[in-house]
Amino acid sequence: MYRVVDIQRVLEKVAPPQYQESYDNSGLLIGDADMNVKGVLISLDLTEAVLEEAIQKGCNMVVSHHPLIFKGLKSINSSHWIGRCVQKAVKNDIAVYAIHTNLDNVLTQGVNGKIADRIGLVNREVLLPKKGNLSFSVKAPALLKREVVEAVKSIHPQSLYVHEGFVNPMTDGKGDYFDCSGVVLPHAKKELQRVLADFSVEPVFQLNEYLDSGLGAGLTGELELPVPEREFLDFLKKRLNTPLIRHTQLLGKSVSRVAVCGGAGSFLLNRARAAGADVFITGDFKYHDFFEADNRILVADVGHFESEQYTIELIFDILKDNFSTFALHCTKVNTNPINYY
């Protein structure tokens, strides 16, 4: 029988919680990590209707993209929909897990990659890379060289250099030491500390100055063939199943290079322009933000929900190949709070 923590581990292997933004609240929000899982319902948002669907389907875990609890709660009561959701989840022993900006920030199997899949982008790159990698160094007794090196290898470092043993004059005759160094992804920091603690060894870390090509906000990619702007907007409307696209003035040129940011991406507009994108696809653009396109890029606001709706499929695909003893369901509830008239 799989537990909630087993679901967490699979999801966090793809999108470690350390990759979430400082304002975010991803992770296990409600429930017991050791609880056995009967079924998982996957949604973009968690609402009372989604929880009721989970109950009807016999699911005792909901994985959502957007966190139910985003800001600090000062009360949990029935006067607000979040309080009602928390009460309903607790009353029915439903674990609630969110995988939000950490899933936004990974290039492979991330939210923006799913959008790129829908519209057929190739040659993908992170639009705004982060400084993600950590350099580390380890000094340990030479007698433990084999064990320590194997422990370091077990966390799959991106690089590892092992140096020959030497006599450290500061050891006061306590014996030979060796050292090794390398690079790990940030989510491996605690794991490296843990495996080395068995040998009473403490690694030293330093943030690399180099940007991580697989970690960061948004992405850019290219269409297989250039497409006229109007034709591209028609194509985009169909592929993202959106009833409308709010966009800036057409520039009278073909679309070849495309920038993407699921959800609210206005903060990446200048970056998209600098990357040479012909179109920037995102959601939640405000009135004055559209002016910043300055007739240099076509902004296509497809809607927040519409840009991220296929994240449900993304999470389902991450989980389906790892678990076979319980049911996985994609929600049938449309959680988009925006209606179109």
300-337, pLDDT tens digit by residue?
A: 999 999 999 999 999 999 999 888 778 999 999 999 99
Residue 93: CB partners within 8 Å, gap ≥ 6?
A: 31, 35, 60
Question: Which stretch of 96-110, 113-127, 156-170, 280-294 has the lowest confidence by average pLDDT?
Answer: 156-170
Residue 27, classified by CB atoms within 10 Å of its CB into exposed (0-12), middle (13-18) or buried (19+), is middle
Mean per-residue pLDDT for 168-197?
A: 78
Phi and psi at 186, nearest 5°, equal: -60, -30
pLDDT surpasses 80 at 95: yes
Q: How far apart are CA 52 and CA 27, in angstroms?
A: 21
Q: What percent of the chain has pLDDT over 90?
A: 77
More confident residue, 197 or 156: 197
In terms of domains, do 221 and 285 share one? yes
Give the range of the structural domain holding residue 292, as residue numbers without chain letter: 111-129+215-302
In terms of domains, do 325 and 264 share one? no
In terms of domains, do 180 and 222 share one? no
Domain total for the chain? 3
Whether 341 is in a domain gets the answer no
Whether 273 is in a domain gets the answer yes
**Across the chain, what does the average pLDDT equal?**
92
CA gyration radius for the chain? Answer: 24
pLDDT surpasses 70 at 140: yes
Q: How far apart are CA 92 and CA 39, in angstroms?
A: 13
Mean per-residue pLDDT for 42-64?
A: 98
Picking from 321, 232, 280, the residue whose alpha carbon sits closest to that of residue 112 is 280
Mean per-residue pLDDT for 125-145?
A: 88
In terms of domains, do 25 and 93 share one? yes
Q: Please, which pLDDT band fits residue 196 given cuts at 50, 70 and 90? A: very high
In terms of domains, do 290 and 319 share one? no
In terms of domains, do 175 and 193 share one? yes
Whether 59 is in a domain gets the answer yes
What pLDDT is attached to residue 165? 58
Eight-state DSSP code of residue 58 = T
What pLDDT is attached to residue 150? 94
Q: What percent of the chain has pLDDT over 70?
A: 96
Q: What is the CATH number of the domain that holds 242?
A: 3.40.1390.30
Q: How far apart are CA 111 and CA 152, in angstroms?
A: 31
Q: Please, which pLDDT band fits residue 166 given cuts at 50, 70 and 90? A: low
> Please, how many CA atoms are within 13 Å of residue 161, restricted to the half-sphere of its CB?
7
pLDDT surpasses 80 at 175: no
What pLDDT is attached to residue 299? 98
Q: What is the pTM of this model?
A: 0.82
What pLDDT is attached to residue 43? 98
Highest mean pLDDT among 51-60, 157-166, 182-191: 51-60
Q: Please, which pLDDT band fits residue 168 given cuts at 50, 70 and 90? A: low
Domain limit, last residue, from 182, 207, 232: 207
Q: Please, which pLDDT band fits residue 142 given cuts at 50, 70 and 90? A: confident
pLDDT surpasses 90 at 272: yes
In terms of domains, do 22 and 96 share one? yes
In terms of domains, do 242 and 282 share one? yes
What pLDDT is attached to residue 79? 95
Mean per-residue pLDDT for 66-84?
A: 93
More confident residue, 95 or 71: 95
Question: Which stretch of 4-8, 51-55, 212-216, 290-294 has the lowest confidence by average pLDDT?
Answer: 212-216
DSSP 304-319: HHHHHTTHHHHHHHHH
In terms of domains, do 85 and 199 share one? no
pLDDT surpasses 60 at 202: yes
